[in-house]
A and B are shown apart, each in its own frame.
Chain A
């Protein structure tokens, strides 16, 4: 399947209907998810209205992790099969991924202030998300720093793969670090299992995030295809082979 879409024309044909579909799903889910989450869903009996931050925060956190997996998969695809579109996919995914990670950190912080009484804790989850954010920054920096796009793409594959192998190690080491130094006092282990009135808006918002991400990636890849086409057309014509009739005409003139 990955090889099937490596042809830019096929990808373009797919993106032509998938892109509007993603937007449709996005707005459809937002139209139901936001009112359900922000208005119709019940307050939490402990957290009150701050629980509504969850509808933005949890899907962002899931996406931040999934997107790096996507980048690693695309890096591997590009690494093994040399599909340039896979590089474009990974590149297009990096920006949204970094924003999802940042959004997770910011909304989590805003939620943590009234709930835990502090903006930031060196909790295992927070810390590993912060490091994931740093990994995104490093990955994006590789794309931005190079002058030769081909070379940047191939270096970005390395960073994407190494970063992905590193993420579970960071997660695991940070868990260890936190449990050693800090007793679990801030997080209640037995929160109430989530009720369907909260689960529905959460699912819709997660779907909206996925649709938004798909739309970003599709648009990003299409843009890169167009950019390459424009660059190809802007090349001087002299590099094209001369047709026989042109040569004959040239002879007559000369």
Chain B
């Protein structure tokens, strides 16, 4: 199927490009590490405070790292003309948007998800099985990437600065954050993976999956005119 081929090609190109030059794939995880360190300083070395801050810290660091990476995910392709070429060739840009999302998830989301259990160790979480928080964080990374994607597409069409993405993505990210932090906290504290909060987070992610690609394509088409 043509759509699948485009998705794979775009995602592959992004991953190869980020691995090839300048350590672009490190940007997200380095920002994440710096943010986590700042949070630790902000909360102080007390173990109780750190334990309570673990889930919020993981989530805020993920949110900001993804928004930082995703805020300019389309601008480069518009500037170097590759998006124009794709838009001329394809009847729909849907495959392109999905490929870009997959690229962001692999390059930025992947390292963040792996880093989440490490952060929880550093934040004095005493759980025995730290992999238990992975499902909620992975789901959250997907949802937050989707929210940042549509905001970034609108931002690219407006030729605005990167900061504007954060304003547009904020209302979409808030429900994700609310359910996600609760889901992760519950996973850490009482080993519940499929809690009600996690179900809501999943619902929110599915909802974003349904609306975001279409609206992003619309915005990108406008940006190309």
Contacts and interface: CB of A to CB of B under 8 A. Distances in A.
Interface of A: 131, 134-135, 137-138, 141-142, 145-147, 151-152, 154-155, 158-159, 161-163, 165-166, 169-170, 172-174, 176-177, 180
B222 A154 contact: yes
Interface string B184-225: 000000000000000010001001000100010011001101
A169 B175 contact: yes
Contacts of B215: 158, 161-162
Contacts of B167: 134, 137-138, 141
Interface string B88-123: 000000000000000000000000000000000000
Contact of A151 (B168, B207, B225): B225
B182 A173 contact: no
Q: Could you tell me the dominant secondary structure of chain B's interface residues?
A: helix
B175 A170 contact: yes
A154 B154 CA distance: 10
Q: Could you tell me the dominant secondary structure of chain A's interface residues?
A: helix
Given A158-B219, A176-B178, A152 B171 contact: no
A173 B200 contact: yes
A134 B172 CA distance: 11
B171 A163 contact: yes
Contacts, number: 74
A142 B172 CA distance: 16
B158 interface: yes
Nearest to A143: B158
B179 interface: yes
B44 interface: no
B160 interface: yes
B218 to A, nearest CB: 6
B55 interface: no
Contact of A145 (B150, B164, B222): B164
A146 B182 contact: no
A155 B175 contact: no
A166 B212 CA distance: 12
B19 interface: no
Contacts of B160: 145
B174 interface: yes
Contact of A166 (B172, B179, B218, B222): B172
Contacts of A152: 158
A155 B216 CA distance: 10
Interface residues of B, number: 27
Contacts of A141: 164, 167-168
Nearest to A165: B211
B58 to A, nearest CB: 18
Given A134-B170, A145-B164, A155-B154, A162 B211 contact: yes
A30 to B, nearest CB: 33
Given A142-B158, A162-B150, A131 B171 contact: yes
B211 A155 contact: no
B154 A170 contact: no
Contacts of B218: 158
A155 B178 contact: no
B157 interface: yes
Given A154-B222, A158-B215, A170-B174, A138 B168 contact: yes
A141 B168 CA distance: 9
A153 B35 CA distance: 37
Contact of A159 (B168, B174, B200): B168
A93 B39 CA distance: 40
Given A147-B159, A166-B171, A173-B204, 16 more contacts: A131-B170, A134-B171, A138-B167, A141-B167, A145-B164, A146-B158, A151-B223, A152-B158, A154-B222, A155-B219, A158-B215, A158-B219, A163-B171, A169-B204, A170-B171, A180-B182
Contacts of A138: 167-168, 170-171
A142 B170 CA distance: 14
B25 to A, nearest CB: 29
A99 to B, nearest CB: 18
Interface string B142-181: 0000000010001001111000100110111011001100
17 contacts: A131-B174, A134-B171, A135-B171, A138-B171, A142-B168, A145-B160, A145-B164, A146-B158, A146-B159, A151-B158, A151-B225, A161-B215, A170-B174, A173-B174, A173-B178, A176-B179, A176-B200
